[in-house]
Structure 1
Amino acid sequence: MLSDLISSSPKILAECAIAERLRRLPGIELHPKLFNTPLIYGPESALECMTSLYCEYIDAAAALPLLLTAPTWRLDPDRIAGAGVPETINADAVDYLIGIRDSHTSGSPVVVGALTGPKGDCYKPEEALDVKSAEEFHSAQIGELAKTPAEFLMAQTMPAVSEALGMALAIAATEKPYIISFCTGTDGHLLDGTPLPDAMDRIDQSVGRAPLGYFVNCTHPDFLTRNYPAGSLGRLIGIQANGSSKDVTKLDASSKTEADPVIEWTEAMLKLHAMHHVTILGGCCGTGLAHMQGLALNG
């Protein structure tokens, strides 16, 4: 379904920050290792808050197709072990989000996928695994997610091409469609210094079954539009952009949400959409309902 939407839809929306919005709400406590995922089991008030955020985005998308991803980012066996949660948490998180999608009426297609993430800090490329180690480490979670009803898998917040390639090899061995999403710096390069086109091409040339396409996230559209000429990012299909145009490594240390005016952010997103034909537009840190509404109302 997702591949058909990408080929037939001029614009698709993706969720804006869920965990980061929850982190800023009073009375919500995220798990130190598993972030917002354990909230699928309660407490009830926190579960209701998280569910309401997903529903907000479904409503805001209006007539446009929408991508939602289950909160399975970095839910590898090492993190789950000893965390006091069911071993089925990956599958339970997918079922949770599909349940929201199926019970919350919408006038447009809503596609539910599932996330994976790097083993180490997503802003520290020096912690990234090599290709072989990444394929081995991530295969367990990817294997679990491949058995769920998730319609695609996304390796998100990847700072280095080596670990991203290992994850791509692991996902390509399943039957799930998939997307690789990189963190990029102000120069439009991955945080390990690899130019974005080179990273996409390396993975495309190294796997037996290529991704549907590539995303960038934890970045800003200006970082791409000012560093790459129009049409040079042909395999880039999506962005989940930070609300701020500051360097992501600076934002990581901030104690408060930082964001540029929503209208400026929306204009920058639409410029990327037009200049590089990036179909899927959504938000990351510092974004929320107003950002998705801005994207939905402008085309």
Structure 2
Amino acid sequence: MNALAKLTDKNHPVFLTDAGLETWLVFHRGIELRDFAAFELIHSEAGKAALVEYWTEFLALAQSQNRGFILDTPTWRASPDWCQKLGFDLHEMEEINRDATAFMRRFKEKSPINAPLVINGIIGPRGDGYVPGRLMSIAAARAYHSAQITALAKAGVDMISALTMNNVAEAVGIAMAAKNENIPCVISFTVETDGRLPTEQSLADAIHEVDAATDNYPLYFMVNCAHPDHFRDAVREDAKWLQRICGIRANASRMSHAELDKAEELDEGNPQELGSLHKELFRLLPNIRALGGCCGTDHRHVACIANHIPRYQHT
């Protein structure tokens, strides 16, 4: 059984992911990231060393927990508009995604740990992850994201994950583009403090709409870039749609997205408390398969999360 099959297998321990890569680089290592674009680090030896340091700690955690791990490409900002803003054209954007995938593949091959590792091609929103802004049509979203998804698929990622999605049309377009490349995809929505998407749509309706428009193509759904307190009530019901949420990457902070945008210091929250909050989430969400962190979190938070949940999915 390959690593991707184990990720969705209830008989295999829950996988871990990393945490807030960009906030760790900026606040813990003092590395300047233009527009939060971590992919630029793969172009320097010092940058690559920082990335290796970051993921090495997480792989050691996965090994100690006897869990699989999802290795994300640092490509959240490596889509056409963001690359153009940073001075890269479409051809260079494709090279960036290929190089980032190759970097993660080499890291995986050199890893001494004995654990299933999934290489996950990361897609970010076209605009601000916290603010929907001018919404695209499904067709426009599919066209926009196709170039990056194609580059990642050709480079050999195991699956695609769209993180910090704040509207349904863009999520559907990404899923359709992934389907066109015949590569599994994961859709991860972010929510505000009221548990709703920034468009004010409920999480339940968003998942229903994506599944209806794509014939249930996403491998599963996640919630990321929100504190458990923000979405716990939204998943506290006995409903079939909750079975589609198989991953959580929570923020360390209880701040709203608007407050986080203005914050000049990192709010790391309380790793132990964050870990303990996942016990209830694990109970409420019957198909959890992947757990990690988002803004403000690092390996300490993910370790606490892993220590507070059973090794296996619900039986």
Q: 1:141 aligns with which of 142, 148, 151?
A: 148
Q: 1:273 aligns with which of 273, 282, 302?
A: 282
- Aligned match of 2:261: 252
Q: Which amino acid aligns with 2:158?
A: E
Classify the secondary structure of the residue corresponding to 1:106: coil
Q: Which amino acid aligns with 1:71?
A: P
Q: 1:6 aligns with which of 8, 12, 15?
A: 8
- 1:158-237, aligned counterparts within 5 Å? 158-208=165-215, 210-232=217-239, 233-237=242-246
Q: 1:35 aligns with which of 34, 37, 55?
A: 37
- Aligned match of 1:54: 55
Classify the secondary structure of the residue corresponding to 1:126: coil
- Aligned match of 1:289: 299
| CA distances 1:93-119 after superposition (whole Å, capped 9, x unpaired) | 011012112112113211111111111
Task: Label 1:48 to 1:110 Cα distance change in 2 as closer, same or farther (>3 A).
Answer: same
| 1:155 CA drift (Å) | 1.0
TM-score (norm. length: structure 2): 0.88
Work out the CA distance in 2 between the residues paired with 1:49 and 1:203: 36
Q: Which moved more, 1:219-228 or 1:139-148?
A: 219-228
Classify the secondary structure of the residue corresponding to 1:237: strand
| 1:84 CA drift (Å) | 5.4
Classify the secondary structure of the residue corresponding to 2:235: coil
| 1:182 CA drift (Å) | 0.7
| 1:245 CA drift (Å) | 2.0
Q: How many residues align?
A: 297
| Root mean square deviation of aligned Cα | 1.9
Work out the CA distance in 2 between the residues paired with 1:34 and 1:227: 29
| 1:224 CA drift (Å) | 2.5
The yes-or-no answer on 1:69 pairing with 2:72 is yes
Q: 2:251 aligns with which of 234, 242, 245?
A: 242
Task: Label 1:208 to 1:148 Cα distance change in 2 as closer, same or farther (>3 A).
Answer: farther
| CA distances 1:59-104 after superposition (whole Å, capped 9, x unpaired) | 1112111112101113123433462594511010011012112112
Task: Label 1:213 to 1:27 Cα distance change in 2 as closer, same or farther (>3 A).
Answer: closer
Work out the CA distance in 1 between the residues paired with 2:219 and 2:203: 16
Q: Which one has the bigger helix percentage?
A: 2
Q: Which amino acid aligns with 1:58?
A: L
Work out the CA distance in 2 between the residues paired with 1:33 and 1:260: 24
**Structure 2: any 5+ residue segments left out of the alignment?**
311-315
Work out the CA distance in 2 between the residues paired with 1:4 and 1:26: 33
Work out the CA distance in 1 between the residues paired with 2:141 and 2:82: 15
| 1:27 CA drift (Å) | 4.8
TM-score (norm. length: structure 1): 0.93
Q: 1:217 touches 1:241 (CA, 8 Å); kept in 2?
A: yes
